[in-house]
Structure 1
Amino acid sequence: MPVLNRIAAYAEEMKGWRRHLHANPELSFDCHNTAAYIVERLREIGVDEIHPGIAKTGIVAIINGQGDGPTIGLRADMDALPIQEITGAEYASTIPGKMHACGHDGHVTMLLGAAKYLAETRRFKGRVALMFQPAEEDGAGGMVMVNEGVMDRFAVEQVYGIHNAPNVPFGHFLTTPGALMASVDTAYVYLTGKGGHGATPHETIDPIVALVGMISAIQTIIPRNIYALDEAVLSVTMVNSGTASNIIPEEAMFAATIRCFKPEVRALLKKRFYEIVEGHAAAYGVQARIDYDWGYPATINHAEQAAFATEVAAEVVGETSVNGNSVREMGSEDFSYMLEARKGAYLFMGTGPGAGLHHAAYDFNDEAAPIGASFFARLVERAQPLA
């Protein structure tokens, strides 16, 4: 079964929605105009309920099917990134320093397209909860929506989401049971020593020497403390210290991103990080303060729901275009909080060649929107079929 014919007929309208969103990006929880635009479209579509103001600017909309039944949740993130766009598109961002560089404009469009179809046809029982979420990139909007009770309030029993994937063949779907994306933690280490003249280092306590020792030592955590088959990443991504070539500074800092798939590995990484930093601080005579940001958990698909989503994707794009046992990746996603709260699955959908995610030249492929919308629509019809 290919892209639903009715949804294919929305293609130009969906392109208009997407390009409006692309031209008007908003960040984090401050998606006020984005939310207002989505609410306008939902009213035109004719959904049964609209609940704005969740997680500040998030929205949950309800479409009732025919007869009693469960509620299935479909999620789209809607925030942009603090990047200056260089696409040169006629619909490029009109807001300096902000752009939809991760395709959330496309995610919203796919969910609106599915909503339009489902509100027209209603060939399902129970209800659909359409969840438009802010602050995926920064702020854990998914966690906030869960903490504000959306799953219980709307009686959501299972939940699904899609992320576009540039440079994956167009229309191909990728997912896997179990861990699909990694947890992400961020460590900031601030060192204080005793500054002085570079010509008299014996009169100082050099934080740079301590910093170098710490960075070298923490690189041993994964190869010497983590089982080789338990994938993990620890990358030092920021180092700052010093003001002149002849001054030993008072302070230094570095930051690291720390990623893995298993909770027990995550806990061990944190434990060893603290032990190494604190031990080296004592050895070098500096004071160390660690700010360890416990970030998004791993995105873990439920096996039954991942298999079901794979089947539905195969209906839309064909079996040869779906990989239900794809490799997992070290990126992170706050849909993980929704999958902790309810059973469900997350999938990647290929959009063909183009600039990568979070790149200033990235642009969502409008031709992919009807495919994602068809997947969402068939997911509902298959999960909650009429008798």
Structure 2
Amino acid sequence: MSVIELNVLDELIALRRELHQYPELSGEEENTANRIKAWLETCSPSQIIDQIGGHGIAAIFDSETEGPSVLFRCELDALPIFEVGQPKWRSKEDGKAHLCGHDGHMSIICGLARHFAENPPRKGRIILLFQPAEENGAGASAIINDPKFSLIKPDYAFALHNLPGRPLHEIGVKSGPFNFASEGLIVNLVGKTSHASHPEDGISPASAVAEILAKLPNVPQELGYDHRTALCTLISTRMGGKAFGVTPADARIKATLRSSTNAAQQKLMHHMQELVKQVARRNGLGVTLNHREKFLSCQNDPEATNYIKKAAKNCNLALDELQEPFRWSEDFGNFSLVAKTAMFVLGAGQTQPQLHNSDYDFPEELIETGMKMFVSIADELCG
């Protein structure tokens, strides 16, 4: 199954390397979006929608014949990590790098734009979405809540993510929970300082910090979950200041909660918050709770998942029908609220550095494989 000519593949590889050299963080993707828009304009889609959900951009290929609206989504943003690898296309932005493969994912979707320019859908619509702010969990919800979303609202939505540690080109997918919901919890405890020679005159958060650190990781198990369905990971803690003569009055604890379903996530987060409040009250401390980087669980629709399985077969690719969801998070889960969605992983090689590692680099041979998968799905749904 050939969906791409060699000269186009060379262009996509060059595009990927250019995107890699000029990464932008979540919410800052203006130049990246402009570069993508310039590429899309050469493909003459029916409509280009920009500035959706921030710097998001969408290209619509409309058959003007009744049929489903099918969305293929990729991500615009990079990570705040210093790249130590030395490819010729190494990041030119110190402390910023495409170390998750979003540069490759964008190239795959840009390849689809070229394909559908030459092979337009026979029915329905194809929507190619370049989404901002995936890494911090803000982008998908911003897209969906943007009034412009009514112009692209899909019936089906598909996405992929490359995944090191799995055989190159292998497709991994499952119906139902595909990856975990995730949310960061910040606990701020407030007491009262005193001279270190009279600690009894102050209200130190030390005992409360010790108790919370000991108890939080055990919350999932106490509620009947195991590590395959939920976990709480302690991220950091800070207490007091620099002076040896002053007892601490404040403390901060950061933790991440992950669950395989949104319902489990809500239950566990509620229990964690109540636990923290009870410990704070017993120790005479004030407490505030803040939340960061909320990701919903990706829930793969059975029908949409079957299109992925069929595409893997049509493309003669190895298919791993997964038994358990991944514990990492992806904000593509938000699209499950508005469409039949499915996500799959695309093996990036068993010796490839892991995602978010400072020496990771997207395997460019996956560009054509990702395109083939998405084209096969599009052919099934839109002819």
TM-score (norm 1): 0.93
1:149 CA drift (Å): 4.4
Q: What does 1:100-249 align with in structure 2 at a 5 Å threshold?
A: 100-122=98-120, 124-149=122-147, 152-228=150-226, 231-242=229-240, 243-249=242-248
1:283 CA drift (Å): 1.4
1:216 CA drift (Å): 1.3
Distance 1:382 1:226 in 2: 41
* 1:271 and 2:301 aligned: no
User: What is aligned with 1:348?
Assistant: 345
Query: Which residues of structure 1 form unaligned runs of 5+?
Result: none
Say which is worse superposed, 212-221 or 362-371, in terms of deviation.
Answer: 212-221
Q: Tell me, what secondary structure is at the counterpart of 1:196?
A: coil
* Cα pair distance change 1:60/1:286, threshold 3 Å: same
* Cα pair distance change 1:216/1:12, threshold 3 Å: same
Distance 2:130 2:263 in 1: 32
Q: After superposition, give the CA deviation of every residue in 1:208-266 in whole Å (9 maximum; x if it has no partner).
A: 22111122122331221234487111111110113245532111110100010223322
Q: After superposition, give the CA deviation of every residue in 1:340-386 in whole Å (9 maximum; x if it has no partner).
A: 2100201110111221111111110111111101111111111122x
1:5 CA drift (Å): 4.9
User: What is aligned with 1:41?
Assistant: 39
* Cα pair distance change 1:302/1:5, threshold 3 Å: closer
User: What is aligned with 1:323?
Assistant: 320
Q: What does 1:272-351 align with in structure 2 at a 5 Å threshold?
A: 272-293=271-292, 295-318=294-317, 321-351=318-348
Q: Alpha carbon RMSD of aligned pairs, Å?
A: 1.9
Distance 1:336 1:155 in 2: 15
Distance 1:334 1:299 in 2: 8
* Cα pair distance change 1:86/1:44, threshold 3 Å: same
Aligned 8 A contact 1:178 1:303 in 2: yes
Aligned 8 A contact 1:66 1:123 in 2: no
Q: Tell me, what secondary structure is at the counterpart of 2:341?
A: strand
Residue identity in the other structure for 1:336: G
Q: After superposition, give the CA deviation of every residue in 1:132-153 in whole Å (9 maximum; x if it has no partner).
A: 1111012511111111145532
Residue identity in the other structure for 1:115: A
1:317 CA drift (Å): 3.6
Say which is worse superposed, 149-158 or 344-353, in terms of deviation.
Answer: 149-158
1:91 CA drift (Å): 0.7
Aligned 8 A contact 1:187 1:292 in 2: yes
Q: After superposition, give the CA deviation of every residue in 1:61-95 in whole Å (9 maximum; x if it has no partner).
A: 01134844222111111111111111111111111
1:287 CA drift (Å): 1.5
TM-score (norm 2): 0.94
Q: Tell me, what secondary structure is at the counterpart of 2:366?
A: helix
* Cα pair distance change 1:342/1:150, threshold 3 Å: farther
Q: Tell me, what secondary structure is at the counterpart of 1:36?
A: helix
Distance 1:260 1:141 in 2: 20
Distance 2:248 2:126 in 1: 59
User: What is aligned with 1:55?
Assistant: 53
* Aligned residues between the structures: 381
* Cα pair distance change 1:359/1:202, threshold 3 Å: same
Q: After superposition, give the CA deviation of every residue in 1:302-341 in whole Å (9 maximum; x if it has no partner).
A: 01111221111222143xx112334311111111111221
Distance 2:342 2:149 in 1: 15
Say which is worse superposed, 246-255 or 63-72, in terms of deviation.
Answer: 63-72
Aligned 8 A contact 2:186 2:290 in 1: yes
Say which is worse superposed, 171-180 or 133-142, in terms of deviation.
Answer: 133-142
1:43 CA drift (Å): 1.6
* Cα pair distance change 1:301/1:17, threshold 3 Å: same
Query: Which residues of structure 2 form unaligned runs of 5+?
Result: none
Aligned 8 A contact 2:71 2:154 in 1: yes
* Cα pair distance change 1:230/1:102, threshold 3 Å: closer
Aligned 8 A contact 1:54 1:148 in 2: yes
User: What is aligned with 1:367?
Assistant: 365
Aligned 8 A contact 1:261 1:298 in 2: yes
Say which is worse superposed, 57-66 or 304-313, in terms of deviation.
Answer: 57-66
